[in-house]
Chain A
Amino acid sequence: MTKSKFNRRQMIQRSAVGAMAVSAWQANIASQAATMRSQKTSCILLWMGGGPSHLDTWDPKPASANSGEAGSTQTAVTGVHISDRLPETAKVMQDICLLRAMHGPEGSHPRATYWAQTGYLPSASIKHPTIGAHVSHHIANLDTDLPAFIRIGGNRNLIGAGLLGVEHAPFSISNPNQPPANTLIQTTENRFSRRMGLLGKLEEDSMRQGAEHWTRANRKIYDKAAQMITSPLMEAFDFEQESVANRESYGTSDFAAGCLMARRLVESGVTFVEVSSNNWDTHFDNYERTTTLCGEVDRPYARLLADLKERGLLETTLVIWMGEFGRTPRINGRGGRDHYPRAYSLALAGCGVSGGQVIGATDSGGEDIVDRKTSVPDLLTTIYDKLGIDAFHENMSSIGRPIRVVENGSLIDDV
C-alpha cells in the first residue's frame, strides 16, 4: 500500500473472495453503518494544539489595546461577535455554543494537555484516559470493524487510553490525505487468515510462563488490525468515494482533509475522531500566524458542521473545538502571545447542544473571567452528559483505586 493508489476494490478483486463479495460488501456497508447510526452518539474533537489565542478566535476585544491588529465580525447570531478571520464560521454560529469563561491550572503544554483531555493532573501511579478512550469504553460498539477511536494528525503531548487498556487506545493517522499505512494485505485473504490462525496457535503453544499479558495484548491488537483491513468499511478512508464538489468545499489544508475524513468515519460508525491543528503556540508573530491558522481551520470547521447537518448526523454528533489553554491577552515584545490558562474559550456544537449562544465572559481586555467561570471537569461532565456517558462511573486503576470518569465537575447549565 505504500505506493499503490488506495483502492479497496482492487484489493478485494485480487483476493480470493472475488467479485461476488463486492456487491455483498456494498450492501453490508449501508446496513452496518445504519445500525451504528441508529443507536449511537459520536464525537469529533478538533484539537487546537499549542493553545489558541482566545482574542484571535472566539473572544475578540477590538476596543482593547490587547487585540493588536485583530478585529471582529458579526455572526449569524445577533449580538455574537467572533474574530474577523473566521468568516465562514460566523455564518454557522446558530449551531455553535461558545464557552468564553474556561480556566485551567496549568501553563505547560504537556501538563495542560493532560488536564484538558482527562480532567486530572498527571500522576506517576495512575494513567487517566483521554476523552476518546472514555467514549470508546462507554458507548462504542467494539465489534465494528474500524477502531472506535481514531486520531488524525496529533502531537506528542496527546494522551492515550491509560488504565482503560489497548482496546480503547487511539488508532493514529499522521497524514489524512493518505489512507493509513500498511492496510493492503500482501497476500490473498485466504492465506492471510490462515497465517493469523497459525500465529494464534503458536502463541498458545509457546507456553511462555508469565508473559500472558503480552500474548493477550498482541492477540487483541492483531485481531483488531485484521478485522479492520479486511473490512469493506475501509472505504471511509478513501476520498475517491467523495464527490469532488464536496471535497473542495472543505478546503485544501491538512486540517480540512482531517475534517472530511472525520465525517466519513463517523458516518461509518466510528465513535470518536480527533483531528489536530497543531501550530497554535504563537509566541511570536501572533497576528500573522493566527491569521494563517484561522484560514486553515475556518472553512473546514464550518463545512464540517454544515455537512453533518445535511446528512442528519449533527443531532447525534458532538463537535468540540478546543486547545489546552489560551494565550496572554497582552502582546509580548516579539508580537507574540504566551501561555495563558487563566481565561480562554472553546466551542461546542451538535448532539443536542443549544447553538447560537455564548456562555461566560471575560473582562474588556480578555484577561480575567467576569461571568460563569468554567473548569475542564465542568466541560467534561457536560460533554459526557451530551454523549450519554455516566461521568460518575468509576474505573479501577492498576493500584486498585477507583477513578471516576470526571472528578469535581458540574454540568454547565444551558449548553
Chain B
Amino acid sequence: MNISLLNRTLTFVLTFALVNILNSVPANGQAVLEVAAEVDRLIDSQTQPSSVNVCNDETYLRRLFLDLTGKTPSFDDILVFNLETHPEKRTKVAEVLLQDADYGTNWGRFWRDVIYYRRSNDQILLGASAAEEYFSNALNSNTPWDQIATDLITASGDIREDGRTALIAAQQGRPEETVSEISRIFLGIQIQCAQCHDHPTDRWKQEQFHELAAFFPRVAVRPQRDPRTFLVYAVDQIRFQPRSSNNRFIGTLEHRMPNFENPANPGPEVAPKFFINDQSLPLGTTDSDRRNALADWVTSTDNPWFAKATVNRVWAELVGEGFHEPVDDMGPDREAIAPEAFNYLATKFTESGYNMKWLLATIVSTQHYQLESRNRRPYDRLPFQANAVQPLRSDQLFDALMNSLQFPEMPDRAEQLVRRQFNQAFGYDPNNLREEISGTIPQALLMMNSQILARQITARPGSMLGNLLSEVDSDRQAIQELYLKTLSRRPNRKELATNQQYIQQVGNRAEAFEDILWALINSSEFKTRN
C-alpha cells in the first residue's frame, strides 16, 4: 500500500462502481449503514449522547488504516481522502480496505495472538506462523466465522502445516485447557474457573466443566522429529493406556473427573455434554462425532453466546471498550453495557451469516467508532463517550515504522528477525484489559536507540528523509510532509514554529531533520492509535 491504494481505487469510489457490501443486503441481514445507525441510537438511549466530536478525516483515516490493515495511510492516501467529497466516503474507504490483503494479515496476527498468548508451552510456537497464515487467508476470503470456529475445534494434523490446529496445539491437546479456550474465545465464558470447584460467582458447576472437557479426551498432541513439529491427532482405539495423561502424547478414550481430595483415585468417566444447550453424547462416541457435535452446538444460531463473544471482542478492539470487560468474560450473570445495542448487533451478525467483513464495516460506520479518542475512562464515568486511545500492537507499530520510514526491501528472513525484536519488546496479550498495558524501558530503548532505526532515520541519499530533503527546499513544507508521513496529519502552528526554530538553532538542515524525525517516531502519538 505504499503507492496509494486510494489512488488506484479513487475512480471506482467516485463512480460508485465499486463492488461493495455497503448497500447490498447480506443474506438475512441488513445494510451496513442502517445497522450502524441503529446501534448508535440504542447506545445513546442507554447511556447518553456524547459531548465529544466526531473525529476529523485525518484522524479517522489513520485510525481506520491501523484498525483494518495494521498499517498507516500513505501520504497520497491522506491527500486523496481529504479531497473526496462523497458523503459516505468513510464507509466506502473501509470497504476498500477490507478487500486489501493487508486486512487478513493484520487480523490474522490478531487472532494468532489471541490464541498463542495463552499457550501452555513455548515449544508450540512452532505452529504460530501457520496459524497466522490460516487466519489471514480465511479472513481475506471472508470465510464465515462459524466455519472458522468449526475448523479450529475439529482440526487435526501437523501444527506447522495446518494453522487450524492452533487452538488445540497451544494447549498441547489437554482437554481441560482446550475446552477452556474454546469457551473463552468463542463463547466469552471463563468456564475453567469451575475446573476444581463449583464456580463461586457464576452458575456453572464443576461437573459441567468436565462434561465439556469430555468432548476432547481422544485428542492428543505428539512431538515429532525431522522436521521438528507436533501432530494434533485423535484415536478411537488405545492399546496401551498410560496411567496419567498430563503430557497427552496419547489421548484417553474417556475423560475422567478428578477428585481433588483424593488425587490417587482416577475419578468417574464423564460423558460429553454441552452446558449451553444440555445436549449430550454417550460414552464411547468417536472423536470425530464428538468434536463435530461440539462445533455444531457452539456455532448454532440458537446459541447467542457465539455471536456475542465475537461482536464484543471486535467492538472492543475498534471502539476501545467492550460491552463486557474483560472481553472474554461475559457471564453468565453479568450485565452488559448498553445491552440492547449489544444484543441487536449480535443478532444482526448472526443474521449476516457470521460475516466478519460485514461486522467490521458496520462497527467502523458507527458514530461511536468515529468519535474523537480519549484516555480510557475511569470506572465511574459514562461508557462509550469517546473512542479510546489504543497502544499499537507490535506488528502494527513495526509496519507503521516500515511505512513511515520507507524501509528498503528486506529478505523475508531479515524482516522476520527485526519484527521479532519488536514483538518481544512491544507484544502484548490482546485478551488482557488494555489499561494494563504500559510502556516499558526496553521499548523506549528500542525506539530511541536501536541501530536498525538509527540507520533508517538518517538523511543519507536514497533514504526517505534524504529524498524528502532533496526534493523539497522549503523547511515548512518538509516539516508538513514529515508529519503526514509519520503521524498521518499536518502539524499545528505551534509544532511548526517549534520545528522551524529548532532547525535554525541546529544550523544544519539534515541533522535537524533527522532529530525531528527521531522525535516524531518516539512520540506517544506515533505509538498509539487515536
Whether A195 pairs with B440 at a CB distance below 8 angstroms is: no
A-B contact pairs, 27 of them (CB 8 A): A2-B450, A2-B451, A124-B325, A165-B438, A171-B441, A171-B442, A172-B442, A181-B442, A181-B446, A182-B442, A183-B445, A194-B506, A203-B524, A203-B525, A205-B495, A206-B523, A207-B492, A208-B530, A210-B374, A210-B375, A210-B389, A221-B444, A222-B448, A222-B522, A330-B264, A332-B243, A334-B247
Whether B389 pairs with A211 at a CB distance below 8 angstroms is: yes
Whether A225 pairs with B244 at a CB distance below 8 angstroms is: no
Minimum CB–CB distance for A328 against chain B, Å = 7
B480 at the interface (CB under 8 A from A): no
Whether B530 pairs with A217 at a CB distance below 8 angstroms is: no
Whether A206 pairs with B525 at a CB distance below 8 angstroms is: yes
Whether A229 pairs with B325 at a CB distance below 8 angstroms is: no
Tell me which residues from 188 to 213 in chain A have a Cβ below 8 Å from any Cβ of chain B. Answer: 191, 194-195, 198-199, 201-203, 205-213
Which residues does chain A contribute within 8 Å of B506, judged by CB atoms?
194
Whether A211 pairs with B373 at a CB distance below 8 angstroms is: yes
Contact A206 to B527, CB < 8 A, known contacts A221-B441, A221-B443, A398-B378 = no
Tell me which residues from 111 to 151 in chain A have a Cβ below 8 Å from any Cβ of chain B. Answer: 124-125, 127, 147
Contact A221 to B502, CB < 8 A, known contacts A124-B325, A185-B449, A215-B524 = no
Interface residue tally of chain A, by bracket? 35 or more
> How long is the Cα–Cα vector from A195 to B457 in the complex, in angstroms?
13
B198 at the interface (CB under 8 A from A): no
Majority secondary structure of chain A interface residues (helix, strand, loop or mixed): loop
Whether A202 pairs with B441 at a CB distance below 8 angstroms is: no
Residue of A nearest to B511 (CB): A191
- A229 touches which of B326, B445, B446 (Cβ 8 Å): B445
Whether A171 pairs with B440 at a CB distance below 8 angstroms is: yes
Residue of B nearest to A162 (CB): B436
Which residues does chain A contribute within 8 Å of B375, judged by CB atoms?
210-214
Residue of A nearest to B263 (CB): A328
A194, A208, A284, A400: which has the most chain B beta carbons within 10 Å? A208
A304 at the interface (CB under 8 A from B): no
A32 at the interface (CB under 8 A from B): no
A107 at the interface (CB under 8 A from B): yes
B386 at the interface (CB under 8 A from A): yes
Whether B492 pairs with A147 at a CB distance below 8 angstroms is: no
Tell me which residues from 215 to 241 in chain B have a Cβ below 8 Å from any Cβ of chain A. Answer: none
A186 at the interface (CB under 8 A from B): yes
> How long is the Cα–Cα vector from A229 to B447 in the complex, in angstroms?
14
Minimum CB–CB distance for A214 against chain B, Å = 4
Contact A333 to B524, CB < 8 A, known contacts A205-B494, A210-B372 = no
> How long is the Cα–Cα vector from A43 to B502 in the complex, in angstroms?
45
Which residues does chain B contribute within 8 Å of A220, judged by CB atoms?
439
Which residues does chain B contribute within 8 Å of A187, judged by CB atoms?
454
Whether A210 pairs with B502 at a CB distance below 8 angstroms is: no
Mark contacts of B490-524 with chain A using CB atoms, 8 A cut-off: 1 yes-contact digit, 0 otherwise: 00101100110010001000010001101110111
Minimum CB–CB distance for A282 against chain B, Å = 11
Contact A186 to B441, CB < 8 A, known contacts A210-B386, A398-B378, A398-B435 = no
17 more A-B residue pairs beyond the given contacts A180-B445, A218-B524, with a C-beta to C-beta distance below 8 A? A124-B325, A125-B379, A186-B449, A186-B454, A198-B516, A206-B495, A208-B530, A210-B374, A211-B375, A214-B524, A224-B444, A225-B445, A229-B449, A283-B247, A332-B243, A334-B242, A334-B246
A171, A205, A400: which has the most chain B beta carbons within 10 Å? A205
A92 at the interface (CB under 8 A from B): no
Whether A221 pairs with B440 at a CB distance below 8 angstroms is: yes
> How long is the Cα–Cα vector from A171 to B450 in the complex, in angstroms?
17
Whether A169 pairs with B243 at a CB distance below 8 angstroms is: no
Whether B438 pairs with A199 at a CB distance below 8 angstroms is: no
Minimum CB–CB distance for B226 against chain A, Å = 22
Residue of B nearest to A202 (CB): B519
Which residues does chain A contribute within 8 Å of B524, judged by CB atoms?
203, 211, 214-215, 217-218
B196 at the interface (CB under 8 A from A): yes
> How long is the Cα–Cα vector from A338 to B243 in the complex, in angstroms?
13
The 6 closest A-B pairs by CB, nearest first: A210-B374, A333-B243, A218-B524, A182-B445, A186-B454, A225-B444
Minimum CB–CB distance for A17 against chain B, Å = 17
Whether B247 pairs with A284 at a CB distance below 8 angstroms is: yes
Contact A166 to B515, CB < 8 A, known contacts A2-B451, A202-B498, A332-B244 = no
Minimum CB–CB distance for A272 against chain B, Å = 15
Which residues does chain B contribute within 8 Å of A191, judged by CB atoms?
511, 515
Minimum CB–CB distance for B445 against chain A, Å = 4
B269 at the interface (CB under 8 A from A): no
A411 at the interface (CB under 8 A from B): no
Which residues does chain A contribute within 8 Å of B446, judged by CB atoms?
181-182
A77 at the interface (CB under 8 A from B): no
Contact A217 to B438, CB < 8 A, known contacts A205-B498, A206-B495, A210-B374 = yes
A124, A165, A199: which has the most chain B beta carbons within 10 Å? A199
Which residues does chain B contribute within 8 Å of A207, judged by CB atoms?
492, 494
B329 at the interface (CB under 8 A from A): yes
Which residues does chain B contribute within 8 Å of A334, judged by CB atoms?
242, 244, 246-247
Mark contacts of B374-411 with chain A using CB atoms, 8 A cut-off: 1 yes-contact digit, 0 otherwise: 11101110000010010100000000000000000000
Which residues does chain A contribute within 8 Å of B439, judged by CB atoms?
166, 217-218, 220-221
Whether B494 pairs with A182 at a CB distance below 8 angstroms is: no
Residue of A nearest to B264 (CB): A330
A228 at the interface (CB under 8 A from B): yes
B528 at the interface (CB under 8 A from A): yes
> How long is the Cα–Cα vector from A109 to B239 in the complex, in angstroms?
32
- B525 touches which of A211, A330, A338, A399 (Cβ 8 Å): A211
Whether B527 pairs with A218 at a CB distance below 8 angstroms is: yes
Whether B502 pairs with A198 at a CB distance below 8 angstroms is: yes
> How long is the Cα–Cα vector from A334 to B522 in the complex, in angstroms?
52
> How long is the Cα–Cα vector from A198 to B506 in the complex, in angstroms?
11
> How long is the Cα–Cα vector from A215 to B522 in the complex, in angstroms?
11
> How long is the Cα–Cα vector from A220 to B391 in the complex, in angstroms?
16
Which residues does chain B contribute within 8 Å of A180, judged by CB atoms?
442, 445
Whether A203 pairs with B523 at a CB distance below 8 angstroms is: yes
Which residues does chain A contribute within 8 Å of B511, judged by CB atoms?
191
Which residues does chain A contribute within 8 Å of B433, judged by CB atoms?
124
Whether A225 pairs with B441 at a CB distance below 8 angstroms is: yes
B326, B378, B438, B443: which has the most chain A beta carbons within 10 Å? B438
